[in-house]
Structure 1
């Protein structure tokens, strides 16, 4: 008797399959002469894959309107339903209602989209500011306001 995976296990299997699929797409970008001149392309593609998988809420391989909504809410830039549809059309060239991984990578490497800028903003917001190390600097009376 074969048991079907349930709950978290099924989701884990789905995410592993998605990871493999996106990795194959990344390899095609690494082999593409249009993109492979970028020195840190491999590192960028890894980061793009991770972000994409985070916002692909249903694990189907596309970011739908709800995934885009969640992404923008995390950025503190909530949008209306019509604005979200317009953003998806910008990325897909009016060819669909979801953002495929290929379209996502092309958008991110092209640096022409407002969505790409928002994602980069999000990345910068999540980084911890560097804390000074070592002893505090000496101050004199001239340094006082």
Structure 2
């Protein structure tokens, strides 16, 4: 029998789906840990713990990496943090509802490195597309499936 994950750990500084996470964890009997820097004020609520770290570079990521446990669900758009989460045995979901798997992470990190090199060289790279209602719905559906303990996440 598969035991469903009971905790969602969130890179909360720029996460656009915090409300959806709070609803999903309450509905599924799970908890959430939102981690952010002092620059972002988050409010705890039932089933949602908030941890505020200093504003130092990577402070939230380091806290999250140390707090993650096997079976947690990590919500982040940061591929470096996603790689750490996968190494710790967490499932990784982006705020747009994309599952990041071991088979994806190397290519995503290479892409991130290549884009950073271009930007350092003065080339303007394209940023992410605007966040949509479809992104929000896809995230909510995939998070709920993960929290209910299904192994395979259907493409939605």
Bin the TM-score by the shorter chain: under 0.3
Which of the pair is proportionally richer in helix? 1
Q: TM-score, normalised by structure 2?
A: 0.26
The structure with more radius of gyration: 1
Which of the pair is proportionally richer in strand? 2
Task: State the structure with bigger RCO (CA 8 A, min sep 6), 1 or 2.
Answer: 2
Q: TM-score, normalised by structure 1?
A: 0.27
